[in-house]
């Protein structure tokens, strides 16, 4: 992690009609940092990522979000977003899904081929390369989305509760895969979850949000050594600290 600021969120405010969701929130994300955002359901975590990527109906009501000191430009900034819902294209094979971002970014065919190959191996889907999403299990689908996102070597990776629906053993496995990918690539990650243990396991820093209208309750640095152990007393202490913060959600 460097001291360069990758994402600068200042006075971010979002209203849907009269409903104030994000209430004047400011924070920075450093280049190469792994930031986890935890908050109660419906507090606006997804809304934050949608505003950042300027999706339809998610224009900010106030404040601004900058990447590398400039307004977000999806054509220019290399962003990948793993959505809360399943988002692989049912009409395309695993391979084609993974190649999608690279194709949009008009990378040369040889590079696409090479990167798809690499990603298939990384997420362990080589054998399933010509399967369609309809033929895959939930965890495989999630890996397709992860591979598609990492394939473009994003400078900023947004993940919205990607492991929300999965059982624990599977989640642990994918979390470890994610950490490895992140360590290899050095990309900046904003990871949203409402699972405190997950946040403590993954993050370098945790942003705890309040209920709507949402503001930042606390920012917690997480310097636990890796690989992390969920039975480690230090791990438990940090987990309890975060849990206490949000006890009365």
Ligand X SMILES: Nc1ncnc2c1ncn2[C@@H]1O[C@H](COP(=O)(O)OP(=O)(O)OP(=O)(O)O)[C@@H](O)[C@H]1O
Residue 104 CB, nearest approach to other proteins (Å): 4
Give dist(CA 174, CA 205) in Å, integer.
Answer: 20
3-state secondary structure of 110: helix
* CB nearer to ligand X: pick between 52 and 157: 52
Strands (E), 5-75: 5-16, 19-30, 34-38, 62-67, 70-71
Contact map string, positions 46 to 75, toward Mg ion, x by CB under 5 A:
x-----------------------------
Residue 60 CB, nearest approach to other proteins (Å): 16
Q: Is 159 in the site for ligand X (CB under 6 A)?
A: no
Residues 125-164 that bind other proteins (CB under 8 A): 132-134, 148, 152, 158
Query: In this chain, which of 105, 113, 173, 228 binds other proteins, going by CB under 8 A?
Result: 105
Q: Is 55 in the site for other proteins (CB under 8 A)?
A: yes
Q: Is 220 in the site for other proteins (CB under 8 A)?
A: no
CB-based contact 49:25 (threshold 8 Å): no
Q: Is 81 in the site for ligand X (CB under 6 A)?
A: no
CB-based contact 9:28 (threshold 8 Å): yes
**Angle separating helix axes 168-185 and 138-151, nearest 10 degrees:** 10
* CB nearer to ligand X: pick between 97 and 142: 142
Residues 84-103 that bind other proteins (CB under 8 A): 85-87, 89-93, 100-101, 103
Q: Is 185 in the site for Mg ion (CB under 5 A)?
A: no
3-state secondary structure of 153: coil
Q: Is 52 in the site for ligand X (CB under 6 A)?
A: no
CB-based contact 24:215 (threshold 8 Å): yes
Residues 190-209 that bind ligand X (CB under 6 A): 194
Residue 212 CB, nearest approach to ligand X (Å): 6
Q: Is 153 in the site for Mg ion (CB under 5 A)?
A: no
Count of CB atoms situated within 10 Å of the CB of 40? 16
> How many angstroms separate the Cα of 171 from the Cα of each of 37, 163, 181, 197, 226?
17, 6, 15, 11, 17
Which range touches Mg ion (CB under 5 A), out of 27-35, 43-51, 58-66, 104-112? Answer: 43-51
3-state secondary structure of 7: strand
Tokens, residue 80: 């990948």
Note the residues at the interface with ligand X (CB under 6 A): 16, 21, 39, 41-47, 57, 84, 194
């Amino acid at each position: 992690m460097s001291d360069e600021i990758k994402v600068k969120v200042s006075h971010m405010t979002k209203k849907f009609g009269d409903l104030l969701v994000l209430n004047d929130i400011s924070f920075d994300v450093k280049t190469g940092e792994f930031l986890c955002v935890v908050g109660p359901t419906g507090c606006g975590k997804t809304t934050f990522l949608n505003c950042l990527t300027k999706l339809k109906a998610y224009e900010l009501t106030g404040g601004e979000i900058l990447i590398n000191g400039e307004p977000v430009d999806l054509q220019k900034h290399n962003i990948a977003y793993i959505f809360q819902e399943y988002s692989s294209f049912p009409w395309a094979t695993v391979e084609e899904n993974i190649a999608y971002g690279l194709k949009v970014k008009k990378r040369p065919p040889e590079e696409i081929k090479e990167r798809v190959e690499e990603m298939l191996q990384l997420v362990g889907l080589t054998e399933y390369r010509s399967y369609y999403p309809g033929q895959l299990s939930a965890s495989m689908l999630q890996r397709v989305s992860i591979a598609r996102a990492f394939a473009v070597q994003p400078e900023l990776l947004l993940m919205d509760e990607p492991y929300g629906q999965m059982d624990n053993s599977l989640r642990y496995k994918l979390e470890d895969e994610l950490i490895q990918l992140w360590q290899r690539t050095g990309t900046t990650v904003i990871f949203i979850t409402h699972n405190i243990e997950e946040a403590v396991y993954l993050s370098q820093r945790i942003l705890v949000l309040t209920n709507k209208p949402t503001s930042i309750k606390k920012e917690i640095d997480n310097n636990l050594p890796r690989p992390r152990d969920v039975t480690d007393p230090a791990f438990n202490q940090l987990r309890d600290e975060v849990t206490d913060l949000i006890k009365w959600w």
